[in-house]
Chain A
Amino acid sequence: MHLRTNIVEIFSTFLQFEGDRFCSWVTDAKLRQSMQSCIQKIPQSASENFWPLYWYRIWQSQVKSFAREHLIAYLQESCYQASAKIVQTLRYSQYKLSDCFQIAIAQVDKVLKGFDPNQGFSMESYASAIFGSIIRDTLRQHHEIDICSDWGLLRKISQKRLVESLHASGLSADTIYAYLRAWHCFKTFYVPKPSQATRQLRRPDSQTWEAIAQAYKSQTHSQVDSQTLENWLLNSAKAVRRFVYPPVTSINVSTFEEEGREWLDNIPAAENSLLNDIIAQEEQQIRTQQLLEMKAILATTVTQLEPQAQEILQLYYKQGLTQQYIAKQLQIQQYTVSRRLTKARETLLRVLAQWSQEKLHISVTSDLLKSISTVMEEWLQSHFLGEGIGG
């Protein structure tokens, strides 16, 4: 893949795969036009760092515009790199780079909603980390759902995911309500027994079905036979599987709704843009400097960790090994790896949090810790990878 360097391209082109490989950058004509006209209006802001924040502001202001699409275009590389890193670590897997890319970019709203420019981190770093965790979490869920029987799955799915799945399969509100009640009754009366594998639960026996039907009747005052309840539950399980494995359609190119979008020229917000620009630029400058300092501190702290902790970080972030592989390599238990990794990250986070507190005079809140943790993840990856290249 070649990286885009032209500002207009960065905010108006999308990655195209052929099979599993990068093929080309495809331009969206409307975005290109939008970007060109904006650059003309704000010529002094030609830096690449200015535009992500600018579009983020516009996106946040909820003005109908192409802001979200521009940001999706901008985040293509982050998403590609996050996907590439993960694919490297997945030996023998059915997942290809393009699959991971699609999984992540489809949830780009998580990046936009979670990003907070006031906490001093770049959108790119934040996005990279979030994309990575989206992909890993989705693959984990796919895997866990694959190895569950329908009945096991029904016990192991959250109410939230179940409701989302039922909505997505187009059922009416009444039907969803009835399904949910049935599911609650099922969970109450179908409880795993000792030594039973909870993933491979079998179909409930007739006695259990009776209890479920009875409970359903007393809760809803409507009589439904157990066969119907069984069908509802199996439909629910199917809906969940379908929801977690949506058919992959490219959201990248030419699928944007175009209705209701307006050119930024016609939007009043653009008139205030000059002020916005300056604020954004200033923020950007301060931020870059802070980030450099924080990265330097992180790098120093890593070298002060005890040797085994450093080794675990190396293996985890640089070689992308799973905790399981690391355990084998170091001849320790997997749980020990998990605990040491947590401990090492805690030490690093403490230094970063204290630094923000002292140097930036930011009071430490749980939200701030959440952001630092996300971005640190990305830094650690680039830190260890970078070290590798430099020798």
Chain B
Amino acid sequence: MIAHPTLFTFTSGAGELILEIPTEQQIQAWLWSQYFSHPVSGYRAFLNKLCLSAILPWLEQNFAQAKPWTSTTALPSFWELVNGCAIVLDQMRLILVPGEEIDRGELRVPQEWVDIPSWSGDCYLAIQVEPDDNCVIIWGYCTHAQLQTYGIYDLSDRTYCLDAAEVIKDISTLALVKELVPKESIRSSVQPLPVLQRQQAQNLICCLQKPEIIAPRLEIPFPLWGALIEHGGWRQNLYQQRLGLLQQWSVWKWLESGVSELAQQWGWENLSLQLHTAGARSGEKIPPRTIVSRQLAIAGQLYELRIVPQSRSSHTNIWRFELRNATAKAAIPGGFKLRLLTEDLQPFPDNEDVATTTVELLFVEVACEPAEGVVWETEPLPENYDREILRL
């Protein structure tokens, strides 16, 4: 497809970069945009998806590995709520800030990408998306420090606005910022956000889930909002509730009627496990047990996380979480940890297993009330890690 000829006639400088949106991505982005609570978030997702599909190949070509954060699967839960997305390059975090504006008068970055500690980035790319021409234009970028120093905070839509005069309008310098500029002059410090209790978070989600609230991000004070959506599980939850989806992360339901479609996208699947019980006499058939499992890539190797139901009663269920190497007979290196936390990320007794030396298996057993939420994590963290709340 040929872009609008005049777009190239009037490019405003050698410093900007024009990238093509692959045609099939355009169609895919429209399909995607249907899965949102309101046309405005759908269109936001559409522009973001176009932007990502044009920029990722370029980043990969120029900066080695480039990965959307936290993972491609998690992106809709961001775009339902806020504009922009993060890309992890090695040692650098880029925040893509797409927009429709043609005048390039300013770069407006949503506060989330600046002030939520785990969301903030090193550099923020100003991107003009031109769906009519099938292309995006990276017209400039700025650093986190620049945004905080020169950006004007607009309370009305909670954005940091940087005047175009402060924006670096030459994308060829980006690689040099990465290589030559000391990290501390790129990033300013970010204040930690308050810790939310489980009940508090659930109340907030309950208020904000109404789809008639078009911009939930502006409804509650920023520190509360930031703390709520920084937690991947709560962010997912809010997204699903706004779309009117029923509980997608109930492990009992997965066992009984199959893993929900959304959870499948995250890699969860049912497994039938033939258990070899020591007391079983030969010839006696033990019915296979269904468990759920998901693959994790940790430090360049594949592992498997399994959740095995142990016992079930009306007031307590016992579960066993196991981490093993995905390759049969391969082990887990020393130093690895498997840890469970409550929904609001608090530890509890016996919540972790540590590999002091090379081991075959790490496991944690947990007893919980029906539908209680549990969050798992490993050390080191797997690639594309995003917290999820498993209802047990």
Contacts and interface: CB of A to CB of B under 8 A. Distances in A.
A and B bind: yes
Interface of A: 110, 113-114, 132-133, 136-137, 139-141, 143-145, 147-148, 155-161, 164, 187-189, 191-192, 194, 197-199, 244, 316, 322-324, 327, 333-335, 338-339, 341-343, 345-346, 349-350, 353-354, 357, 363-366, 369-370, 372-374, 377, 380
B280 interface: no
A371 to B, nearest CB: 10
A158 B168 contact: no
A316 B14 contact: yes
A198 B131 CA distance: 7
B181 A364 contact: yes
27 contacts: A113-B165, A132-B13, A158-B99, A158-B104, A159-B161, A187-B40, A188-B40, A188-B214, A191-B40, A194-B30, A323-B18, A324-B8, A327-B8, A334-B3, A335-B19, A335-B20, A335-B135, A338-B16, A346-B172, A346-B173, A346-B176, A350-B175, A364-B176, A366-B143, A369-B176, A369-B177, A373-B169
A338 B181 contact: no
Interface string B3-17: 101101111111111
A366 B186 contact: yes
Contacts of B288: none
Contact size range, B: 35 or more
B172 A373 contact: yes
A137 B165 contact: no
B102 A338 contact: no
A231 B78 CA distance: 35
B180 A158 contact: no
A218 to B, nearest CB: 10
Contacts of A137: 12-13, 104
B182 A377 contact: no
Contacts of A188: 40, 214
Interface in B14-43: 14-20, 30, 39-40, 42-43
A353 to B, nearest CB: 5
Interface of B is mostly: mixed
A345 B170 contact: yes
A145 B100 CA distance: 13
A98 to B, nearest CB: 19
B256 interface: no
Contacts of B14: 316, 341, 345, 377, 380
B15 A377 contact: yes
Contacts of A370: 168, 170, 173
Contact of B146 (A322, A338, A366): A366
Interface in B57-113: 58, 61-62, 99-106, 108
B261 to A, nearest CB: 23
